[in-house]
Amino acid sequence: MRMFGHRRLLAVGAIAAAVVMGSQAAAFASDFIAYPGPGYSGQAIDLRACGYNRIPVGYNGSYVFQYTGQTADAYNNPDASGVAAFRFTGDAQQDTPYGWQSVWIQC
């Protein structure tokens, strides 16, 4: 009886460790960093949630995309619907204004 309880405790511990490791992996999604001004000027915002991310109005001056294994699609509308205007498959940056209004990070 004690041996069964010990094995069960080990199994529960292993499952808990897997859940924690999985949630940490999801926490490190690729980053779309938007700047209000050209040349990476102004206070940046970091959009990194898996799935839909709306680029706030006024944050289309420049951007940096930091690829950490998750691709992303940029859209010309605020709800990330329709056909993507651009797909990020690696690190990218642009120091001039762009027209995208939303980004969908594939996680």
pTM > 0.85: no
What is the tens place of the pLDDT at every residue in 36-75?
999 999 999 999 999 999 999 999 999 999 999 999 999 9
- Does residue 1 register a pLDDT over 70? no
Counting Cα atoms < 13 Å in the Cβ hemisphere of 21 gives 6
Q: What are the backbone dihedrals phi and psi of residue 30, each rounded to the nearest 5 degrees, phi first? A: -55, 155
What is the tens place of the pLDDT at every residue in 6-17?
444 444 444 544
The proportion of the chain whose per-residue pLDDT surpasses 70, expressed as a percent, equals: 75
- What is the structure's pLDDT at 28? 74
How far apart (Å, rounded) are the C-alpha atoms in residues 59 and 98?
Answer: 9
Provide the phi-psi class of 80: left if phi over 0, else alpha when psi is between -120 and 50, else beta: left
- What is the structure's pLDDT at 11? 46
- Mean pLDDT confidence for 76-92: 97
Taken in order of first residue, the domains within the chain and their CATH numbers are: 29-105 (2.60.20.30)
Q: Residues 6 or more apart from 78 whose CB is under 8 A from it?
A: 54, 55, 101, 102
